[in-house]
Amino acid sequence: MIEIGKDLTRLRQMRNKADYEDTIFNLQQEARTALMLAQQIISALNKLTQ
């Protein structure tokens, strides 16, 4: 469950960066990483409910 929290924190940091930074380097990689984190979070949450 700690990993879920860490992933959520990282995802939020990425979101804040996207919202407030004027320039984002490696945007495609950032987007891929955000999607991967979101998938990991959803998967981990689904495992908790089983």
pLDDT tens-digit readout, 4-41: 999 999 999 999 999 999 999 999 999 999 999 999 99
Higher-confidence residue: 1 or 21? Answer: 21
pLDDT band per the 50, 70, 90 thresholds, residue 50: confident
Residue type, 48: L
The rounded Cα 13 to chain-centroid distance in angstroms is 8
pLDDT surpasses 90 at 1: no
Predicted local distance difference test score (pLDDT) of residue 4 = 94
Predicted local distance difference test score (pLDDT) of residue 13 = 96
Mind spelling out the 3-state secondary structure of the chain?
CHHHHHHHHHHHHHHHHHHHCCCCCCHHHHHHHHHHHHHHHHHHHHHHCC
Instruction: Read off the pTM.
Output: 0.84
